[in-house]
Amino acid sequence: MGTRWGQRLADLAGGNDVSRTTVDRWLKEMIEVLAAKAPRLQRVLAKIVWEGGGMVLLDGSLIPGERRAGLPIKRRWSARDKRHGLLVIALTDVRGRLSWTSTARPAHGSEITACRHDDLVGRLRAAGLAAIADLGFVGLDDDRGPDADPAVITGYKKPRGKKLPPAKKLVNQLIAAKRAVCEHAFAT
């Protein structure tokens, strides 16, 4: 395990005149403290509803990492991104403020699988909220009936070998414009 800048814990320990196991223990304790402080999904959704919001922005991202020796290569390998890492799903409000992040999961799964693991669609419906998401989430909300309002709104994928009609292109542009603040929040 290393830091964001590639330093190993043993290097940090030696540079600060403490043992590597002490640095490892401090790191684990800090992770536990941060996890305890993290907002729970139900509280985040209730707060957004209480503030008068009716919509959240949904996105997923791969946090790149290095393959650790001895661990199976497939669990943290993302075939889509062609690298090792962990997958995180996040919700932001319409102003781009990060509201919630999921547990980091192995990168071999998809964004849709991670959302289904957290029952995100069911929780959005229960709170009365909708989510705007990118094309990676197409099919997430397919279990609803034909007359139900969608909980996850995505754009249109271009059919293979064909062009999108102008109306669907316009819808994609409007969704992309609304989602831009979510992309900036995740990048930050």
pLDDT for 25-62, tens place per residue? 887 888 788 877 778 888 888 888 898 888 888 888 87
- Measured distance CA(75)–CA(109) in Å, rounded: 8
At 7, the pLDDT band (50, 70, 90 cuts) reads low
Q: What angle do CA 4, 104, 141 make, to 5 degrees?
A: 140
Distances (CA, A) of 25 to 6, 32, 74: 19, 11, 28
Is pLDDT above 80 for 162?
Answer: yes
How many C-beta neighbours within 10 Å does residue 5 have?
A: 5
Q: Is 51 helix (H, G, I), strand (E, B) or coil?
A: coil
Secondary structure element (H or E) that encloses residue 184, with its range: helix 166-187
Q: What angle do CA 97, 105, 19 make, to 5 degrees?
A: 95
- DSSP line for 24-47: HHHHHHHHHHHHHHSPPHHHHHHH
pTM, full prediction: 0.71
Residue with the larger pLDDT of the pair 167 and 76: 167
Q: Is 33 exposed, middle or buried (0-12, 13-18, 19+ CB in 10 A)?
A: exposed
Q: Record the tokens describing residue 1, joined without a space.
A: 């395990």
Report the residue count for the chain: 188
pLDDT at residue number 104 = 77
Distances (CA, A) of 36 to 30, 33, 42, 99, 181: 10, 5, 15, 15, 27
Q: What is the mean pLDDT of the chain?
A: 78
